[in-house]
Amino acid sequence: MAPTLLFLEITYKAMSHTERLFVDRDGSPVVYSKLQSLVFKTWDDELISYRPVADNAEPFPALRRLEVYMEYPFGDDVLFRGNSDTLRKVHLELDVQTVIMMKRHNIFAANKFKNLWI
């Protein structure tokens, strides 16, 4: 549990250990219950990790802003779980793999993100 963090910006130099953002040392899901803004960047455009992170975990239930200035770094919808009522702004650099993943997880479902600014 990360109960006080409001804003988080991560700039990756290497994509190793990204799962530690979502799972603690005991293997339990980490929940950022107050996190409102999450930004991912990378120093290297070749850093990509297409792997699921945590089944059914909802790590960002209060997320309002998600910005990913690199290829989507995860193989599942982990960044979109549990925040369909709060998410207002999304910036993604879409590629084919990301669109396929988003379609598979119904990210594009009508009215799923009610407050998203388009």
Q: Which pLDDT belongs to residue 61?
A: 96
Residue type, 114: K
Q: How far apart are CA 14 and CA 12, in angstroms?
A: 5
Contact predicate 31/61, CB 8 Å:
yes
pLDDT digits (tens, 9 = 90+) for 46-59: 655 556 666 788 99
Its pTM stands at: 0.87
Q: How far apart are CA 62 and CA 86, in angstroms?
A: 6
Q: How far apart are CA 69 and CA 67, in angstroms?
A: 6
Give the residues across from 9 on adjacent strands: 39
pLDDT digits (tens, 9 = 90+) for 9-40: 988 776 666 777 888 888 888 899 999 999 99
